[in-house]
């Protein structure tokens, strides 16, 4: 098999792009799920099909089966089969054992009828999200095909393991985050940010409640552990990067402020003491956010977590839940993942995690600031997951990959200092396990901080920025917030769109542009959007340097560009719309959908690579020769997007090295991008 794969890749690499046969793509973006032929539409998620196929191999001897089980357990020792009392479907769990699945319901079958049908097959509904058409069931895997055959069941996914995304290593660098809000006093006041994570410590001075700093205004547990206290440390640090207030808290003279210290934190615990969770808990928490949006003015959700992307975004339960939140007016921000390289440091493409694969989500990669306020030395962190998205659906036995351009942008995420959860009470927190993560060891728990790195840290920086934009102009829709953040981002030199999206977050530019948008949004495509003209230079001055805006907005397989994107109302900025609705593929060509975009907006197909700083996105060099991404298309650096070379069997593969997706792998990446950084301020 390996020899055959090597020969296949060698042949692909030797063939010019112009003669490669490109499989036809799904013709529309949001119609991906609906456009599948009804008689061929899959009802089981791809990874679930693979597990069931393993179950079907009855020809194996008992000895062979035991050896296979042992090998699987060794491979997935960081992916336990039981988390927070939930048994996750895997080859390590016998088919006859009850395990957790997420089903999408089709029709109006009464719950009691569905319960009766499941009971006959040894299953039951453990949780139901009425507004989403989703339910969590517990049933033997051996009965899952019969369950899927029921007319009331549209799709079945395994309840997947979800983990925090942060690679934790020794670091500094909060100054660059603080400098992003220079020139404005906006701090997110009044905006609610829901932090779905391992909990939040409310005693740390950076997060405590005091005059002018609301801190955590509500907490709820979705793990079943009965506590919202952070006994791991990930969630506390994440919440701090978004909302910490060091000035009023008298901690380190304000050196560790978050982007939106005036915002309210809604602490929704979905990860356990090891920062692990299950998809069904996150789906339930997202559903709670939709229901309670008005009560806490939840305008932003931060998801510094993720799971390996298998399902197309059109089927993935996490994506469906995130999309529903987007549709009711909540900006959803997710970490891209930390699978940008293998254990040998080689680049990997195609490692974007779910729910970051969804077009409605703002998917954030990590940038390395090298500890300076200047942006001229900033680069994409080596571990930050690269696109395109490799989630897929199976039609007539053939995988159809989404292949969307992700991440959407990058933000500081390497070597950042913020709040540390307390080590008392017998808790085994990150700093208990890795004392070197603490920049100082004196003082009380309430005065303590820690270093962390990863796209988990970048996501709350963007979530905080979104809160500031919404405070500046509450009328902004999620799609308009996303467009403004991308339009004003700074394209980084020597990085392509699969690495940096539209570029590095620029809060200064985004806030200034948001303030220009009319508070009563237009309703007609092409109508005037702003109350005044765009800045002539379309740039910002940060730390004494001029930072040009990229002036482009990604739309899944290409990007739109031109000033009219911001001077005119675009239909895709409306409530319930996504930017990807602006473009679609017809006969293998990416084009603008009529009525979605105003005149004067141009489209470039494919991704681009930026050769030097200060370059607009439209001036970048087309990456992958402008070809619409398809299976087997070469995308650069000798990497090929093909099964077995990028994503396979829940692992990331690179140059023969396998690294389990859900493992935090402190041994391999304890230092991360071990570059120059700011020292802590004492």
Which domains can be identified in the chain, with CATH numbers?
Answer: 32-159 (3.30.70.80), 164-414+444-668 (3.40.50.200)
Tell which wins on pLDDT, 423 or 311.
311
* Local confidence band at 418 (pLDDT 50, 70, 90 cut-offs): confident
Alpha-carbon span 319 to 574, nearest angstrom = 20
pLDDT of 555 higher than 90: yes
Classify residue 308 as exposed, middle or buried by CB count within 10 Å of its CB (0-12, 13-18, 19+). buried
Average pLDDT, the chain: 77
Tell which wins on pLDDT, 425 or 574.
574
pLDDT of 506 higher than 80: yes
pLDDT of 169 higher than 60: no
For residues 530-551, give the mean pLDDT: 88
pLDDT of 584 higher than 70: yes
Predicted confidence (pLDDT) per residue in 274-298, tens digit: 888 899 999 999 999 999 999 999 9
Backbone angles phi, psi at 186, to 5 degrees: -65, 135
pLDDT of 415 higher than 80: no
pLDDT of 465 higher than 70: yes
3-state secondary structure of 662: coil
The answer to which of 154-158, 162-166, 516-520 has the lowest mean pLDDT is 162-166
pLDDT value at residue 450? 81
Alpha-carbon span 547 to 511, nearest angstrom = 14
Predicted confidence (pLDDT) per residue in 309-360, tens digit: 889 999 999 999 999 999 999 999 999 988 888 777 778 888 899 999 999 9
For residues 27-47, give the mean pLDDT: 51
pLDDT value at residue 644? 27
Q: Give the dihedral sign, CA 645/651/656/657.
A: positive
pLDDT of 505 higher than 70: yes
pLDDT of 452 higher than 80: yes
- Are 340 and 438 in contact by the 8 Å Cβ rule? The answer is no
Structure tokens at 441: 């060891």
The answer to which of 161-170, 357-366, 382-391, 411-420 has the lowest mean pLDDT is 161-170
The alpha-carbon radius of gyration of the chain (Å, integer) is 24
Look at residues 404, 372, 196, 383 and name the one whose alpha carbon lies nearest to residue 283. Answer: 196
pLDDT value at residue 675? 55
Alpha-carbon span 659 to 667, nearest angstrom = 12
Residue with tokens 């907005």: 553
Strands, E, within 73-212: which ranges?
A: 82-83, 86-87, 98-105, 124-129, 134-140, 153-158, 161-164, 192-197
491: Cβ contacts below 8 Å, ≥ 6 apart: 500, 502, 503, 504, 548, 550, 610, 613, 615, 616, 617, 620
pLDDT value at residue 293? 98
* Local confidence band at 424 (pLDDT 50, 70, 90 cut-offs): low
pLDDT of 660 higher than 70: no
For residues 132-156, give the mean pLDDT: 89
Structure tokens at 495: 């990085």
- Are 455 and 384 in contact by the 8 Å Cβ rule? The answer is yes
pLDDT value at residue 371? 67
For residues 72-78, give the mean pLDDT: 40
pLDDT of 518 higher than 70: yes
3-state secondary structure of 35: coil
Alpha-carbon span 402 to 248, nearest angstrom = 46
Question: Percent of the chain, pLDDT > 70?
Answer: 75
pLDDT of 646 higher than 60: no
pLDDT value at residue 180? 32
Alpha-carbon span 465 to 580, nearest angstrom = 22
For residues 473-482, give the mean pLDDT: 97
* Local confidence band at 60 (pLDDT 50, 70, 90 cut-offs): low
Helix axes 317-327, 279-291, angle to 10 degrees: 10
Tell which wins on pLDDT, 369 or 513.
513
Predicted confidence (pLDDT) per residue in 610-631, tens digit: 877 667 888 887 665 433 343 3
* Local confidence band at 446 (pLDDT 50, 70, 90 cut-offs): confident
- Are 244 and 206 in contact by the 8 Å Cβ rule? The answer is yes
For residues 165-189, give the mean pLDDT: 39
The answer to which of 63-72, 327-336, 429-438, 666-675 has the lowest mean pLDDT is 666-675
pTM: 0.81
pLDDT value at residue 526? 96
Which positions are annotated as active-site residues? Answer: 197, 234, 456
* Local confidence band at 29 (pLDDT 50, 70, 90 cut-offs): very low
pLDDT value at residue 328? 98
Structure tokens at 614: 């200060």
Tell which wins on pLDDT, 118 or 652.
118
pLDDT value at residue 63? 53
Alpha-carbon span 548 to 508, nearest angstrom = 11
Residue with tokens 């403004």: 484
Alpha-carbon span 425 to 632, nearest angstrom = 53
- Are 375 and 18 in contact by the 8 Å Cβ rule? The answer is no
pLDDT of 189 higher than 80: yes
Backbone angles phi, psi at 528, to 5 degrees: -60, 135
190: left (phi over 0), alpha (psi -120 to 50) or beta: left
Tell which wins on pLDDT, 371 or 257.
257
Tell which wins on pLDDT, 298 or 234.
298
Question: Percent of the chain, pLDDT > 90?
Answer: 40
* Local confidence band at 568 (pLDDT 50, 70, 90 cut-offs): very high
pLDDT value at residue 71? 47
pLDDT of 645 higher than 70: no
pLDDT of 633 higher than 90: no
pLDDT of 183 higher than 80: no
pLDDT of 377 higher than 90: no
pLDDT of 74 higher than 70: no
For residues 126-150, give the mean pLDDT: 88
Alpha-carbon span 602 to 600, nearest angstrom = 6
- Are 343 and 205 in contact by the 8 Å Cβ rule? The answer is no
* Local confidence band at 172 (pLDDT 50, 70, 90 cut-offs): very low
* Local confidence band at 564 (pLDDT 50, 70, 90 cut-offs): very high
pLDDT value at residue 77? 39
Tell which wins on pLDDT, 657 or 321.
321
Residue 454 DSSP symbol = S
């Amino acid at each position: 098999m390996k020899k055959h794969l090597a020969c296949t890749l060698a042949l692909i690499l030797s063939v010019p792009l112009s003669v490669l046969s490109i499989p036809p793509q799904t013709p529309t973006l949001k119609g991906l799920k609906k456009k599948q032929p009804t008689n061929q539409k899959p009802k089981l998620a791809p990874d679930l099909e693979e597990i069931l196929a393993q179950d079907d191999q009855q020809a194996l001897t008992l000895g062979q089966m035991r050896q296979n089980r042992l090998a699987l357990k060794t491979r997935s020792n960081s992916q336990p089969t039981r988390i927070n009392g939930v048994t996750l479907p895997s080859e390590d769990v016998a088919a006859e054992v009850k395990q957790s699945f997420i089903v999408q319901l089709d029709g109006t079958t009464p719950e009691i009828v569905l319960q009766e049908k499941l009971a006959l097959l040894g299953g039951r509904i453990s949780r139901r999200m009425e507004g989403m058409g989703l339910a969590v069931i517990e049933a033997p895997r051996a009965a899952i095909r019969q369950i899927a055959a029921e007319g009331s069941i549209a799709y079945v996914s395994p309840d997947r393991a979800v983990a925090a995304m942060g690679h934790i290593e020794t670091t500094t660098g909060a100054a660059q985050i603080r400098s992003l809000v220079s020139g404005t006093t906006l701090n997110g006041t009044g905006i609610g940010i829901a932090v779905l994570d391992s909990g939040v410590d409310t005693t740390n001075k950076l997060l405590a409640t005091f005059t002018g700093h609301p801190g955590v205004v509500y907490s709820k547990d979705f793990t079943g552990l009965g506590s919202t206290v952070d006994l791991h440390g990930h969630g506390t640090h994440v919440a701090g990067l978004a909302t910490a207030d060091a000035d009023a808290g008298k901690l380190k003279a304000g050196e560790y402020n978050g982007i939106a210290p005036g915002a309210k934190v809604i602490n929704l615990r979905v990860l356990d003491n090891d920062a692990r969770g299950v998809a069904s808990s996150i789906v339930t928490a997202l559903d709670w956010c939709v229901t309670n949006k008005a009560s806490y003015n939840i305008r932003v959700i931060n998801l510094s977590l993720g799971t390996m992307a298998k399902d197309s975004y059109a089927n993935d339960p996490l994506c469906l839940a995130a999309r529903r939140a987007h549709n009711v007016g909540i900006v959803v921000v997710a970490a891209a993942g930390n699978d940008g390289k293998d254990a040998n440091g080689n680049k990997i493409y195609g490692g974007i995690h779910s729910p970051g694969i969804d077009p409605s989500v703002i998917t954030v990669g990590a940038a390395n600031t090298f500890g300076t306020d200047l942006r001229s030395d900033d680069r994409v962190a080596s571990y930050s997951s690269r696109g395109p998205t490799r989630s897929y659906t199976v039609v007539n036995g053939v995988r159809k990959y989404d292949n969307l351009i992700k991440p959407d942008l990058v933000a500081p995420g390497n070597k950042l200092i913020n709040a540390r959860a307390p080590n008392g009470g017998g808790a085994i927190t990150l700093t208990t396990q890795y004392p070197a993560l603490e920049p100082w060891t004196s003082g009380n728990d309430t005065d303590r901080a820690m270093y962390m790195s990863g796209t988990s840290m970048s996501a709350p920086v963007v979530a905080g920025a979104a809160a500031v934009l919404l405070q500046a102009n509450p009328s902004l829709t999620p799609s308009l917030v996303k467009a403004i953040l991308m339009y004003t981002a700074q394209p980084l030199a020597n990085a392509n769109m699969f690495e940096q999206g539209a570029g590095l977050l620029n809060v200064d530019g985004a806030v200034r542009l948001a303030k220009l948008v009319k508070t009563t949004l237009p309703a007609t495509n092409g109508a005037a959007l702003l109350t005044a003209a765009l800045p002539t230079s379309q740039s910002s001055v940060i730390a004494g340097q001029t930072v040009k805006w990229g002036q482009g907005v990604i739309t899944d397989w290409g990007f739109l560009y031109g000033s009219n994107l911001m001077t005119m109302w675009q239909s895709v900025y409306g409530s319930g719309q996504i930017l990807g609705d602006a473009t679609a593929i017809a006969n293998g060509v990416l084009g603008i959908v009529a009525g979605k975009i105003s005149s004067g907006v141009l489209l470039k197909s494919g991704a681009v690579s930026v050769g030097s700083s200060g370059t607009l996105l439209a001036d970048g060099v087309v990456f992958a020769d402008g070809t619409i991404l398809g299976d087997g298309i070469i995308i650069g650096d000798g990497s090929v997007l093909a099964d077995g070379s990028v994503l396979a069997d829940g692992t990331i593969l690179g140059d023969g090295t396998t690294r389990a997706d859900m493992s935090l792998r402190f041994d391999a990446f304890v230092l991360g991008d071990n570059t120059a950084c700011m020292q802590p301020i004492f």
